[in-house]
Chains A and B, each alone.
Chain A
Amino acid sequence: MMTSATTLHEDHGHHGPAKGLMRWVLTTNHKDIGTLYLWFAFTMLLIGGSMALIIRLELFQPGMQLIEPEFFNQMTTMHGLVMVFGAIMPAFVGMANWLVPMMVGAPDMALPRMNNLSFWILPFAFGMLILTLFSEAGAPNFGWTFYAPLSTTYAPSSVTYFIFGVHLMGISSIMGAINIIATILNLRAPGMTLMKMPLFVWTWLITAYLLIAVMPVLAGVVTMMLMDIHFGTSFFNAAGGGDPVLFQHVFWFFGHPEVYIMILPAFGIVSQIIPTFARKPLFGYSSMVYATASIAFLSFIVWAHHMFTVGLPLATELFFMYATMLIAIPTGVKVFNWVSTMFNGSMTFETPMLFAVAFVILFTIGGFSGLMLAIAPADFQYHDTYFVVAHFHYVLVPGALFAIIAGVYYWIPKWCGRYYNETLGKWHFWLSFVGVNVTFFPMHFVGLAGMPRRIPDYALQFADFNAVASIGAFIFGLSQILFLYIVIDAIRNGKKATDEVWEGTEGLEWTLPSPAPYHSFSEPPEVK
């Protein structure tokens, strides 16, 4: 992606990118910052992925083989935190940085300096979090959901770094979200009405609102932890009049919208890709917009479905169960629309389309297991088992991550001016597709049979499925190295891309030359 930005657009009299390292430190260009976000997210994907492989290596056989249980707990915790806050979220912000201004016909993000700051906070936040691994106390070990009192009374001393890290990444996300909202609301080209915006822009607008609504609540809950640990308050300590269940309520009030923050932009990406390769306009554009908005609204009133087993009264269990099941309706509308878009289309299966179609199928499987978990009485059985692990990995890996990968393949010719190697792309897809299913599908079975999550050892009867899952994890993990190679190969040696990139693409970003010039839409385009 370096070359995309170093290819100057000579027509403009003013400056292109500066040279050297300081270009990246000081940049306020949305394309540079998008690139930084994407490389950062990929680095985090490899770090978080390595942690996952350590977990799978230990779980390859029953019994304790390689690592201490304490370290295993640190791995599950850090894997979750790094993947959620370091890989998926920054990757989507990076995509938004690259694409939102080009899609709405804006010259840059609305607040370019804040944009620089929101990126550059992240390496420090994650540097601090990851360095705790090398401290005497070890890294945080209380799960990415950091339930009190495990994360307060019983936490390692590194918890304070964790809290500060979460504050930093929260500030970064909020600034990023405000920037995206301001770009969309204030900088659209003349004629680009809200209902003409590409769906990726729509889903990001809604996601940005979710971010500014819930990231402050996350900041609040870690602040309460900080005060309980260091300043003698009792938010979560019953001895002093607090309540540990309060932690879960506040956390999941953030946590549930958070999972939609990680999937709505994926819906947007897939809604851009499928029409291109089906050679038909997206079926039901406006219903897609309303479905996204409904999902966002519902995300605020379902949080206690994560807490069915804490001793909620029956009425509460029923409310949260029905509210959760309601989400299947707008989500079903989306899946229906994607399928209808493909129906009778002249489909071709280039790599982005393969990942997008896999997204539709596998995300739906994850959605169905979510529906099973929504059934409160059944959840008493499934709670905290590998079934839950299978569920959320199906929506996050072949869900969110596949959409990001699909998006990278789809737009990289526009970003860098060069195509990736299609054969290798297909190899990457099939290895990932097989790997992801071999990894996560058996987890449904061991989960239903009662294998608990976050435990480094397990009963003998789970051995075979775990061995299979571990093999799948290595296939999936190693095939992401191939992805890295494909991207670098595309940047260096790829075939020159046309401006249209794919046959019959629609949208402002495809009207720009490939690679997209460093400064685009300095004069707003006319949108009919």
Chain B
Amino acid sequence: MSSRPSVAKTAVKHVTIAILMFGFGFAMIPLYDVFCEVTGLNGKVQAAVVKTAMEIDRSRSIKVQLVASNNAEMPWRFSPLQNEIALHPGDWKQVGFWVSNVTDQDMVSQSVPSITPARAARYVKKSECFCFEQQTLASGESKVMNLVFTISPDLPEDIRTVTMVYTLFDATDFATSQVVATSD
């Protein structure tokens, strides 16, 4: 009992813990991203990669399903040109998504990708994707947005189908000129 710290010291120490924990709440955001990237959980995809020739695994063919969906009240029309393609691991493919701003206003969009099964996410390599940056369309404008990707030959044998979903968000209020979502 003799060498007990003073009340003031105890209080200051615990106030510090409380402040650090407030910071920890915010630190969870990058930690959560890093965790998902390292483990490949949550279907997170690596950032854009340089398109390099890979050894093509012609012994198997992966069914790649392409899905487009709109978030909440996003009024644009959005659909893949092909719903499904077959791909040999290591072979680079280009696919297109058709998008049309049917409103009477100029709008900015952001696509957010998700890959199922999540385990496959880390094997999907994209050299070009409309999801890497915001897309602006004038009122009534339409276009085809490109995605250039492959699936690494390291993909586990038991995965035969990979579903790539893109959800289109209205990002008009969040318009930036820079590249966003590099790690998504």
Contacts and interface: CB of A to CB of B under 8 A. Distances in A.
A239 interface: yes
A358 interface: no
A308 to B, nearest CB: 14
Contact of B14 (A212, A218, A232): A212
A246 B32 contact: yes
A478 B58 CA distance: 74
Interface stretch (B78-86, B97-105, B163-171): B163-171
A152 B98 CA distance: 31
A110 B10 contact: yes
Contacts of A178: 10-11, 14-15, 18
A114 B18 CA distance: 16
B41 A239 contact: no
Interface string B1-32: 10011110011001101111111111011001
Nearest to A185: B10
A183 to B, nearest CB: 8
Contacts of A174: 18
Contacts of A195: none
Given A190-B1, A241-B184, A217 B171 contact: no
A346 interface: no
A202 interface: no
A123 interface: no
Interface string B32-69: 10000001011000000000000000000000000000
Interface residues of B, number: 40
B112 interface: yes
B22 A182 contact: no
Interface residues of A, number: 45
Contacts of A235: 29
A181 B14 contact: yes
B164 to A, nearest CB: 15
Given A181-B10, A186-B7, A187-B7, A239 B174 contact: yes
B181 A219 contact: no
Interface in A173-200: 174, 177-178, 181-182, 185-188, 190-191
A518 interface: no
Contacts, number: 109
B32 A313 contact: no
B118 A239 contact: no
Nearest to B24: A217
B119 interface: yes
A311 B116 CA distance: 10
Contact of A212 (B7, B21, B29, B174): B21
A221 B71 contact: no
Contact of A249 (B17, B32, B181): B32
B7 A219 contact: no
Given A216-B21, A312-B41, A316-B41, 5 more contacts: A178-B10, A185-B10, A216-B24, A224-B26, A239-B169
Closest 6 CB pairs of A and B: A220-B25, A239-B169, A240-B174, A216-B22, A216-B21, A217-B25
Interface of A: 110-111, 114, 153, 174, 177-178, 181-182, 185-188, 190-191, 212-221, 224, 232, 234-235, 237-241, 245-246, 249-250, 253-254, 311-313, 315-316
16 contacts: A174-B18, A182-B11, A186-B7, A187-B7, A212-B18, A213-B21, A216-B20, A216-B24, A219-B25, A221-B25, A232-B173, A239-B174, A241-B110, A246-B29, A313-B119, A316-B41
